[in-house]
Amino acid sequence: MYAFRKVRFTTAATALVFGTGLGLPASAGATALAASQDSSTCTVSSVTAAADQTQKPWEIADANPGHLTDANGTPLDGTGVKVAVIDTGIQSQTQLSVAGGVVLNGESTGYAADDDGHGTMVASIIAAQKVPGGNGMQGIAPGVQLLSIREAGCNAPSGNDEDTMATGIDDAVDEGAEVINISQDGYDDDSKLAAAVQYAYDNGVVIVTSAGNQGDRDTTDNNGTDYGVNPRTYPASYPNVLAVGAVDQYGTVPTFSETGSAKNTYYVGVVAPGVAVGGLVPKGTIAIDDGTSFAAPYVAAEAALIMEEHGWNQSGDRTAARAYDVIKIIEATADGDGAYSASQGWGEADIQNALATKLGSGDSLVSPGNTISGLTRMLGAGPNADGQATTSQTDVNRTVIKPYVAASVNQEAQKQQRWAYIALGAGILVAIVALAGAAVARDAARRRGQPQS
């Protein structure tokens, strides 16, 4: 039993949710779904509007779209690549154009609509167009074609379950998607969903999915099933997908970002911006939110740029080798330098590094399981590892939180502060000696019968 959940960060959990935390019961049937409909659970009702609509969200500034280039300095924007967003829909607007899609959640307003807002935020991180004189939002790969697979939503009369998710993956592949973003997860293995993931991989489609947001809280679904803290999530933990955790502006992994474990398998591939990130809501303004939901599209855009760079968007490239190569490039060029961490995966995704890395195979695809020359070797317990870590290498037990390094201290100020502490200590010592002397004098006076001051 499964209930997909949006993977935004929230304090409550159920079982199929977005990277936001909305959960609707999947196996209880349409009646239960209808009973769970509540506009107050829509993403647009819970996000915060950006205070400065003209400012570029930090995760977009970090990616630096418009200045991303290949190893030869050629600009890249994802042109020629199709990216499917399996979510609550994508609201067509000035900055977001939807090339096609399907509706699987029973809504009557079409695939280019979104009354929830979650799918629109996700899609905007991938492909929002920059508007001169407009707001600060710009997608990381604005040249891609967006496909909207509308299979969930706060007011959806159907969908929101693993069967619909599986159908959405199959439809996206059949519609020609090269990259699929899934910012949802659940907690039960499902054969139909697993088969759909394998179908996508066999056709060279890269599935990028959110890792989940229950890393620091107990997880119980609507039927009372308790999955514990930091449970294994699906489709994130299936082989041949790229699961993405979250980091903030300082590279710190928030406690809500799920990690996997030795018991549940380590499945996080990389981490990406997922705290206080900005994206467009259906009305066209920038909203701020947290969650691994919004880390996934950062990496989905990276996958599209890699495909554009190497020309891997042709019909002949629809083999497992393409999915394997793109995922390996993203993981091996992250900032973990080939060492695996349960919370950070292979490190924080580095888009420009991935694009600037020259492969020994050039633009030729390398079959799954083989070494891609030019990439850092990945050693550890994580997915797609090239081998196990040795005792001299960082492994799964490394510190889960990256330290925040403060700015350099002014040395003269530090010296003055040190002498101030020494002087203060000397003063305290003198005071203690004086007080001790006074106490001895009072005690002697008491013994001699003299008056005490």
What span, in angstroms and rounded, lies between the C-alpha atoms of 233 and 21?
A: 13
Tokens of 212: 């989940």
The closest of 292, 300, 312 to 359, measured between CA atoms, is: 312
Query: Which of 70, 77, 87, 185 does the annotation list as catalytic?
Result: 87
> Are 431 and 439 within 8 A, CB to CB?
no
Q: Within 10 A of 188 (CB to CB), how many other CB atoms are there?
A: 20
Tokens of 436: 């001790």
67 as an active site residue: the answer is no
310 as an active site residue: the answer is no
Query: Which of 124, 183, 293, 343 does the annotation list as catalytic?
Result: 293
For residues 175, 359, 362 and 141, what is the CA-based torsion angle, rounded to 10 degrees? 40
The H-assigned helical ranges of 175-287 are 191-202
What is the length of the chain?
A: 453
Look at residue 379 and give its three-state secondary structure: strand
185 as an active site residue: the answer is no
> Are 93 and 284 within 8 A, CB to CB?
yes
Query: Which of 118, 185, 210, 350 does the annotation list as catalytic?
Result: 118
β-pair partners for 220 = 226
Distance of CA 129 to the CA centre of its chain: 21
86-112 exposure pattern, b = at least 16 Cβ within 10 A, e = fewer? bbbbbbbbebbebbbbbbbbbbeeebb
Active-site positions read 87, 118, 293
